[in-house]
Amino acid sequence: MKKANVTVHPEYRIGSVDKRLFGAFLEPIGSWVYGGIYNPKHPTADEMGFRRDIIDAVKELDLPALRFPGGNWVSGWDWKNSIGPLEERKAQLDLAWFQIEPNTIGHDEYMKWAMQVETDPMYTINLGTEDMKSAAHLVEYSRVAGGTYWSELRKKHGQLEPYPIRTWYLGNEMDGHWQIGSWEKDPVGFGIRTHEIAKLVKWIDNEAETVFAGTSDHHRHFPEWEMAALEQCYESVDYISLHHYHTAPEGDIANFLNISSVFEDYIRTTIAVCDYLQTKLRTPKKMYISFDEYGANFGKQGEVLFGRRGWQDVTKSYFQFAPRENSFKKFDPEDYNDRDFGSNQMLKALAMSSVMMTFLRHADRIKIGCMTGGIRDALSFNGSHVWKNASYYPYAQMNKLTRGGISLMPAVDGPTFNTEQFALTGSVQCHAYENVQAIEAAAVMHEEKEELCIFMINRAIADDIEVNLDLRAFEGYELAEHIEMYTNDLEAGNCYDHPDVIKPSLNADTRLENGRVKAIAKKLSWNVIRLSKTR
């Protein structure tokens, strides 16, 4: 059996873990909102039409933070159309996803849903089609106690106290050519605009945090666009927003599970840009990261077109001017568009675990993270039911076991694998990687509780690996449990009728002797090893 050595030491400190590191993202795409969280005809619907089964499941997850209401969708949305009596609200076209937005679920409803599930709301402001005055009115409506037109209007609509919004996202993916009101061709202009709106937000609410919309999916102009825009607003924003959706060729498990290498490149380059600007501007202020959209999927081979540094992609009809049916879909809350949640569940759970461990290994700089599928794929639902997919378990475990802890950097030495370069389209491509560790790990120490949690995945496709964990620096600690999750059938997955096809179990064979843990990490498995100090 192949072997790997992993060393964890209390002095290998990275930084404190922000409780918002494993949050989620919400956008009204398809049946995510209408027919998902909102369905007044559902048996569990409350007086507002929200499904209590989903609310209860999110509360059980103990979701720390939620970024909403978009997403590409928000760049064409007028929040003022969505407040007040339902009969007076204005339906509008959603040019991001070619839908009709009825505004039945509006600003106040989004906020009340977030408050019901007891999560910290993080709000995205439309910087595509809306102006500075609209942004100022939104913050005033939401955060001012009273005495002004917009704050009193909020009270008239039934919310007497200000909404608990601390973090404001200033636009969404504004560098992208697909974005409504894109600033792709004017990064300096967008940086100035961001600076001015960040000033407004903080003048209205001096406790507010603001987030700059950085380059999404590290496109062809990364990092030049980032550097030019962020320089203009560096002193007025607190975070830079990153998004990435990792797509690997169908069946290419090695590239799919090498997701952390791709994220590492993106994160390290962004940190370098931020630190360069800190030096250039001669400021003590350090910029932090909000990685507030991420996911992983397999993709089919498409056409790779040349031009614009090889990154032009005109195959996406909803982002370009390719022929399409000139219609806009209206989603009926009672007509849920069921999706396939069963395919590749274990592999997706490992990929999401890899990303979350990457965030832990950068806990000194990444303070906010929002899994795009956190309350759609991990915590899954259709028009009738809610259940837990495979990704739910590492997501929930890391949420529970990392809060308030100190991230430690494990040293890993074991079997490696290589990946091949690929190009599925002009914008979905990746270079080759060599000597990628099959065992990937992260660790969190809780000093007050005297507890240590080690998270590991085995990315080897065919081999179980014997892991030798060197924990001799944690004198007096005892093994509490080894939780593992794996399946011998990668086509298997959880659903409402069969919710326990993939779930964690205890490995009773793992032992701690003389400060070393010997554990078998099964092929393509998720592992949590928890130790606590004897009292």
Q: Which two tokens stand for residue 331?
A: 């989603």
Can you spell out the DSSP letters for 16-77? EPPGGGGEEE----TTSTBTTTB-TTSTTB-TTSBBHHHHHHHHHHT--EEEES-SGGGGG-
Q: How many residues does the chain have?
A: 535
Mean pLDDT of 297-321: 62
What backbone phi and psi angles, to 5 degrees, belong to 27? Answer: -145, 140
Phi and psi, residue 163, nearest 5°: -75, 145
**Whole-number average pLDDT of the chain:** 94
Identify whether the C-beta of residue 511 lies closer than 8 Å to the C-beta of residue 425: no
396-420: average pLDDT = 98
Structure-model confidence comparison of residues 479 and 307, the more confident one: 479
**516: helix, coil or strand?**
strand
Q: How confident is the model at residue 324 (pLDDT cuts 50, 70, 90)?
A: low
The larger pLDDT score, comparing residue 428 to residue 352, is at: 352
pLDDT of 22 strictly over 50: yes
Q: Residue 91 above 50 pLDDT?
A: yes
pLDDT at 453: 98
If you average pLDDT over residues 15-28, what whole number do you get?
97
Asked if pLDDT for residue 322 goes beyond 70, the answer is no
Contacts of 462 (CB under 8 A, 6+ apart): 523
- Closest by CA to 471, choosing from 513, 434, 441, 436, is 513
- Residues annotated as part of the active site: 173, 293
As a whole number, mean pLDDT of residues 427-443 equals 95
pLDDT digits over 491-531, tens only?
999 999 999 999 999 999 999 999 999 999 999 999 999 99
Read off the pLDDT of each residue in 85-104 and give the average, rounded to a whole number. 94
Q: How much is the pLDDT for 309?
A: 47
DSSP string spanning 172-209? SSTT-TTSTT--TT-HHHHHHHHHHHHHHHHHH-TT-E
Task: Dump the DSSP string for 447-467.
Answer: TTTTEEEEEEEE--SS--EEE
Asked if residue 261 lies in contact with residue 234, where contact means CB atoms within 8 angstroms, the answer is no
Q: What is the DSSP letter of 487?
A: -
CB burial of 400-409 (b: ≥16 within 10 Å; e: otherwise) equals ebbbebbbbb
In which band, very low, low, confident or very high, does the pLDDT at 329 lie, cut at 50, 70 and 90? Answer: confident
Q: Which two tokens stand for residue 494?
A: 């959880």
pLDDT at 189: 98
Q: pLDDT for 121-154, tens place per residue? A: 999 999 999 999 999 999 999 999 999 999 999 9
158-185 per-position pLDDT tens digit: 999 999 999 999 999 999 988 999 999 9
Place of tokens 């690996």: 465
Do 459 and 440 form a contact (C-beta atoms < 8 A)? yes
Helix residue ranges per DSSP H, 103-234:
107-116, 132-143, 149-156, 187-204, 224-233
Give the pLDDT confidence score for residue 216 in this predicted structure. 83
User: What pLDDT score does 117 carry?
Assistant: 98
Residue type, 124: T
Q: Which residue has the tokens 């000093």?
A: 447
Per-residue pLDDT, averaged over 93-115, amounts to 96
**Which band of pLDDT confidence, cut at 50, 70 and 90, is reported for residue 534?**
confident
Q: What is the pLDDT, as a whole number, of residue 254?
A: 98
Residue found under tokens 């056409």 = 303
Question: What contacts 470, CB < 8 A, 6 or more positions away?
Answer: 5, 6, 7, 8, 515, 516
Q: What is the pLDDT of residues 221-241, one digit of tens each?
A: 899 999 999 999 999 999 999
Two structure tokens written together for 222: 């990364």
Give residue 317's pLDDT: 43
Contacts of 335 (CB under 8 A, 6+ apart): 31, 35, 383
Q: What is the DSSP letter of 287?
A: P
Under DSSP, the state recorded for 141 is H
Q: Are 351 and 372 in contact (CB under 8 A)?
A: no
Cα 333 to Cα 39, 98, 325, 415: the distances in Å are 5, 17, 23, 50
Phi and psi at residue 182, to the nearest 5°: -60, 145
Model confidence pLDDT, tens digit, residues 178-206: 899 999 999 999 999 999 999 999 999 99
Architecture of domain 22-299+344-403: Alpha-Beta Barrel (3.20)
Give the residue-averaged pLDDT of 472-476: 96
Average pLDDT of the residues in 407-435 = 95
Spatial separation of the C-alpha atoms in residues 396 and 390, rounded to whole Å: 11
User: Residue 247's Cα: distance from chain center in Å?
Assistant: 15
